[in-house]
C-alpha cells in the first residue's frame, strides 16, 4: 500500500493539525509515514499545506507531485492543487467556501462538505478541519476514525483535553456527511 494526501487552506484552519493527526494515526496502525508541512510567515491567514505519505514500506520522499487525495479548505487552494490530483483520486473540499461548480474535473471522487457551516452548528468554527478530516477518513478508508480519536486523545495537550468530545463529534459529523453523500 502507498497512499498520499495533500491538505491545504489558510493558516489557522487546522491544516497542519489534521495532517499531523493523519500521520500519527497511520503510525499507530504500524504504517511508515512522512509528514511535510509548508506554510507562509503569517501565523493566521497565510497559506498552509502539508503532505502525508503512508505506506507499508519505508517512504523514500515526502514530496508528491500527483497526490491520490486532497483535503482542501479554501477556494484558492482548490485552484492550485486540484489539477494535480490523480485521476480517480479522492477530493474532500470545504463546501462552505466553494462548490462543485468551482471544480473543473469529473474524473475524481469529490465531496463538498459544508465544514464551516457544520462547525458553527457544533458551536466552534475551529472544528471545520476535523469535520473535513472525518469525511476524508470515510472516503479514503486509509485510517479509521476510532484510531484517529485514539491518536488525538493521546496527543492532545492537557489544556485541550476538554475539547476531545467536540473533536469526536466533528469527526463523526464529517464521516456521516460523506456516508450520506457518496456517489
- Average pLDDT for 37-65: 82
Q: What is the pLDDT of residues 88-127, one digit of tens each?
A: 999 999 999 999 999 988 999 999 999 999 999 999 999 9
The span from the CA of 69 to the CA of 46, in Å, is 22
Domain that holds residue 21: 2-180
Q: What is the pLDDT of residues 9-18, one digit of tens each?
A: 998 899 999 9
Q: What's this model's pTM, rounded to 2 decimal places? A: 0.93
What's the CATH number where 93 sits? 3.40.920.10
- Average pLDDT for 30-46: 79
Neighbours of 99 (CB within 10 A): 13
Tally the domains of the chain. 1
pLDDT of 45: 64
Q: What is the pLDDT of residues 56-81, one digit of tens each?
A: 999 988 888 899 999 999 999 999 99
Is 103 within 8 Å of 83 (Cβ atoms)? no
C-alpha cell at 61: 520522499
- At 140 the three-state DSSP class reads helix
Amino acid at each position: 500500500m502507498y497512499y498520499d494526501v495533500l491538505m491545504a487552506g489558510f493558516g489557522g484552519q487546522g491544516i497542519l493539525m489534521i495532517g499531523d493527526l493523519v500521520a500519527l494515526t497511520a503510525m499507530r496502525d504500524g504504517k511508515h509515514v512522512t509528514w511535510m508541512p509548508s506554510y507562509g510567515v503569517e501565523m493566521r491567514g497565510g497559506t498552509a499545506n502539508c503532505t502525508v505519505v503512508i505506506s507499508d514500506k519505508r517512504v523514500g520522499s515526502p514530496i508528491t507531485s500527483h497526490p491520490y487525495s486532497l483535503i482542501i479548505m479554501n477556494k484558492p487552494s482548490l485552484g492550485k492543487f486540484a489539477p494535480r490530483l490523480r485521476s480517480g483520486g479522492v477530493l474532500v473540499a470545504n463546501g462552505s467556501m466553494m462548490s462543485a461548480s468551482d471544480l473543473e474535473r469529473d474524473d475524481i471522487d469529490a465531496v463538498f462538505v459544508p465544514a464551516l457551516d457544520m462547525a458553527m452548528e457544533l458551536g466552534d468554527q475551529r472544528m471545520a478541519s476535523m469535520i473535513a478530516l472525518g469525511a476524508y477518513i470515510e472516503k479514503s478508508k486509509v485510517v479509521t476514525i476510532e484510531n484517529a480519536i485514539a491518536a488525538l486523545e493521546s496527543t492532545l495537550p492537557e489544556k485541550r483535553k476538554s475539547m476531545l468530545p467536540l473533536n469526536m463529534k466533528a469527526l463523526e459529523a464529517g464521516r456521516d456527511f460523506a456516508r450520506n453523500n457518496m456517489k
